[in-house]
Amino acid sequence: MNRRDFSKTLLMGGSGLLLTGRAVSAAPQPLKLAVASRTIDVNGRAATVFGLTGPNDRPGLTLAASETVEVDLENGLSEETMVHWHGLLPAWDQDGVPDMPMPLLKAGETRRYTLPSGNPGTHWMHAHTLQEQNLLAAPLVVRGPEELARDEQEVVVLLHDFSFTPAEELLAKLKSGSGMGMMMNGMNMQGMDHSNMSGMNMGGGMMGMDVNDIEYDAYLANDRTLNDPQVVQVEKGGRVRLRIINGATATAFTIDTGALDGEVIAVDGQDVVPLKNRQFPLSMGQRVDFRLQLPREGGAFPVLALREGGAQRTGVILATPGATVSKLADAGELQGPILSQATEAKLTAARPLAPKTVDRAYAVNLVGSMQGYEWGMQSSADLLVRRGERVVVEMRNHSMMTHPMHLHGHHFQIVAVNGREFSGAVRDTVFLPPMTSIAFAFDAVNPGKAWAFHCHHLYHMATGMMATVGYEGA
Ligand SMILES: [Cu+2]
C-alpha cells in the first residue's frame, strides 16, 4: 500500500482528519459549499461557531489545478454572510468582499461562483467580515498531477485564535482603549535594519512595539487545542506534505516542526526554492507548505504553532502506528518568537515574475496606533493601474504593530525588504514589522474597479486599514 492509499484508508475510516486522498476533478455539476453553524468543544466548554462544508461533508474545497469550477455557496445561517477565496484569482465580482461589488448573501440564499483554480497551492476561504473571528473559514487546496503522483501524505492544518467573547465586543473593547495590548519594550528585533528608513520621518523611533492586542481563550489547530490535539497517523520513514494556514484573525505564529527534518517548499500557495528550516514565521492570512521526512524508527512528532510574543501554543501530532503520544501543555516555557523579516529575505520564488520594466510605482504608508485604535493606509495618489502594466508598491510601516498586508486578485513578488532589492517569494500576503518596508511587484492582469488591499489583522482592517487598487476604465 503506498502512502496515498494509506491516506484514503484513513479517510474512509471516518477519522475526521483533514487528510485528502484525491482531487475533485472538474465536475459538470457545481460543487456545493454550505455555510452553517456548528458546535465544537474548546477546553471542555461548548462553543457555537461557523463552518464551511464542501463535497463529502469535509471542510472547505479541494480542487484540481488549471480548471474553472462552479461553486454554489449556500448560506444556511439566519444572518447575512459571504466568502472570500483567499489565494485564488477570480474575476472581481466573484471575489467575495461585501459590496465589492456584490452584496452579502441573505439568510438562506445560494449564489453561484465561477472560480479558476489556477496553479497548485495551499489557499483558504473566509468571511471578509467579523464572522471570520468565529471560525467562518476553511482550507482551499489546489492540487496538480505532480502532487498526486508523489509518494507523500498530505496533512492540512488550519489555525485559529478563539474567543468566547463575540467579535463585536472584542472590537468595541479595542476602540475604547481597554484592549489587553502588550508592549514589548527594548526589543532587539532580529533582521531589522533602520538605516534604510532614513527617508521616513519616523518620529520616536523604536521605543517599543505592540504585540497581541487581544488575549484569546484558546488557540486552535483544526478546531482543537493542544489539550486534545489531532493526532495524524503517519508512516515510519514516510514523507508528509504539511499545508499550514494561519486563519487566526489577530494572532501571528511561528511554526515549529520540532524534531522533524523539513524544508519549506511553498508560501501562500506559491512554490519557493526549497529552504531547509524547522521554524517559520506565519502571520494572519499566510500559508506555508513543508515537506517533512519521518525517521525510519517512527515516533510521535508534534508540529507546533507558537503564539508570537506569548507562551501559548497549538498544533497537531504526527504519530506512527504504536507510537506513544505524550501530553503537551498548551503553553510552553518560552514565549513564541517576535516575527522578523529574516526568513522573508531568504525566500526565492520558484517561478518569479518575467523581467519587465516597471510602468508604475506607488508608496503606501501604514499608519495608526493602539491609542484610539485607528489604523490606515496613506498614499499620495489613488492606487490606479492600467491593464498590462507592471506595478511596484512600496509599503512602509510607520506604526508600532506588525501588519500582514494582503492584495486581492493578484499574486505579487517581493522585490525589496528594507530597501534591499532581491528576487523574493511570490505571495498574496506579506507582513511588515514596525518601522520596516517591503516592496512588491505585480502584473495588472485581472481588471477590477476596486480590488481590496488591506491588513489581514481583522480589527485593523475593521478600523480603517483597507485601501483599494483599481483599474482605469474598469
Ligand atoms: Cu494591521
Length of the chain: 474
pLDDT at 196: 40
Sign of the CA dihedral with 254 first, then 314, 310, and 299 last: negative
Q: Burial level of 92, CB count in 10 A (0-12/13-18/19+)?
A: buried
The answer as to whether 209 is a domain residue is no
- The pLDDT of residue 178 is 67
Distance 457 CA to ligand 1 centre (A): 5
Mean pLDDT for the chain? 90
> Which pLDDT score, from 0 to 100, does residue 302 have?
98
Number of folded domains that form the chain: 2
Four-residue CA torsion sign, 335, 228, 268, 320: positive
- Between 186-200, 318-332, 374-388, the lowest mean confidence (pLDDT) is in 186-200
Query: What does the pLDDT read at residue 19?
Result: 41
Please tell me the predicted confidence (pLDDT) of residue 371: 86
Q: How far apart are CA 378 and CA 371, in angstroms?
A: 18
Confirm whether 388 is domain-assigned: yes
pLDDT of amino acid 193? 40
CA of 397 to the centre of ligand 1 (A): 10
**CA 460 to centroid of ligand 1, rounded, Å:** 5
Is the pLDDT confidence value at 85 over 60? yes
Write out pLDDT tens, residues 8-47.
333 333 333 344 444 555 446 899 999 999 999 999 999 9
| Residue-level pLDDT at 194 | 38
Distance of CA 40 from the midpoint of ligand 1 (Å): 29
Percent of all residues in the chain with a pLDDT value above 70, rounded to a whole number: 88
Residue 6 has pLDDT above 50, yes or no: no
- Stretch 359-385: mean pLDDT: 95
* Helices assigned H by DSSP within 292-369: none
Mean pLDDT value of segment 237-241 = 97
For residue 78, pLDDT over 70 is answered with yes
The residue written with cell numbers 517533512 in the block is 292
Dist CA 348 CA 386 (whole Å): 27
Residue located via cell numbers 500559508: 287
pTM confidence score: 0.90
**What is the distance in A from the centroid of ligand 1 to the CA of 126?**
17
- Give the distance (Å) from ligand 1 centre to CA of residue 404: 6
Which SS3 state, helix, strand or coil, does residue 247 take?
Answer: coil
In a domain, 273, yes or no: no
Q: Please write the tens of the pLDDT for every residue from 351-371.
A: 999 999 999 999 999 999 988
Is 208 within the bounds of a domain?
Answer: no
Q: How confident is the model at residue 117 (pLDDT cuts 50, 70, 90)?
A: very high
Of all helices (H) and strands (E), which one includes residue 384? strand 384-385
CA 36 / ligand 1 centre spacing (Å): 28
Residue 340 CA to ligand 1 centre (angstroms): 15
Domain edge (last residue) among 125, 143, 161: 143
φ and ψ of 216, to 5 deg: -90, 165
Beta strands (DSSP E) in 247-370 are 253-256, 261-267, 270-276, 279-282, 287-293, 300-307, 313-319, 360-369
Tell me what the mean pLDDT of segment 368-379 comes to.
93
Strands, E, within 10-152: which ranges?
31-42, 45-53, 61-64, 68-75, 84-86, 110-116, 121-126, 137-143
pLDDT surpasses 90 at 101: yes
Which among 89, 117, 143 is the end of a domain?
Answer: 143
Residue 466 banded pLDDT, cuts 50, 70, 90:
very high
| 37 lies in some domain | yes
pLDDT tens-digit readout, 145-175: 988 889 999 999 999 999 999 999 999 999 9
Q: Would you place residue 455 in the very low, low, confident or very high pLDDT band (cuts 50, 70, 90)?
A: very high
Ligand 1 ion: Cβ-proximal residues, 5 Å cutoff? 403, 455, 457, 460
Q: How far, in Å, is the centroid of ligand 1 from the Cα of 434?
A: 10
d(CA 433, CA 429): 13
Residue keyed to cell 489547530: 221
| 232 three-state secondary structure | strand
User: What is the 432 CA–ligand 1 centroid distance (Å)?
Assistant: 9
List the domain range (segments joined by +) for residue 37: 3-143
* 306 inside domain: no
Q: What's 366's domain CATH number?
A: 2.60.40.420
Read off the pLDDT band of 207 (50, 70, 90).
low
For residues 434 and 209, the answer to whether their CB atoms sit within 8 Å is yes
Q: What is the pLDDT of residue 462?
A: 97
To the nearest whole percent, how much of the chain has pLDDT over 90?
A: 84
For residue 462, CA distances in Å to 83, 373, 466 come to 16, 10, 8
The predicted-structure confidence for 270-311, as pLDDT tens digits, reads as follows 999 999 999 999 999 999 999 999 999 999 999 999 999 999
Cα(146) to centroid of ligand 1, in Å?
A: 36
Tell me if 161 is assigned to some domain: no
The domain boundary residue, chosen from 93, 109, 143: 143
Predicted pLDDT at 177 = 81
217-229 mean pLDDT: 98
Distance 398 CA to ligand 1 centre (A): 11
> Distances in Å between the alpha carbon of 460 and those of 66, 135, 247, 264, 464?
34, 18, 15, 29, 6
